A = this chain, B = another copy of it.
Amino acid sequence: MIRVQREDFDIGTELALLTEGNSKIGGLASFVGLVRDLADQGAVSAMTLEHYPGMTEKRLAEIEAEARSRWPLDGVLIIHRYGRLEPGDRIVLVATTSAHRQAALESCAFLIDWLKTKAPFWKLEEGAKGTAWVEAKESDDRAAEKWKR
Interface residues of A (CB under 8 A from B): 10-13, 15-16, 19, 22-37, 87-88, 99, 101-102, 104-105, 108-109, 112, 139, 143
Contact = CB atoms under 8 A, between A and B. Distances in A.
A112 B100 CA distance: 13
Contacts of A37: 23-24
Q: How many copies does the complex hold?
A: 2
Given A105-B108, A112-B101, A25 B34 contact: yes
Contact of A11 (B11, B139, B143): B11
A139 B22 CA distance: 24
A67 B23 CA distance: 30
A11 to B, nearest CB: 5
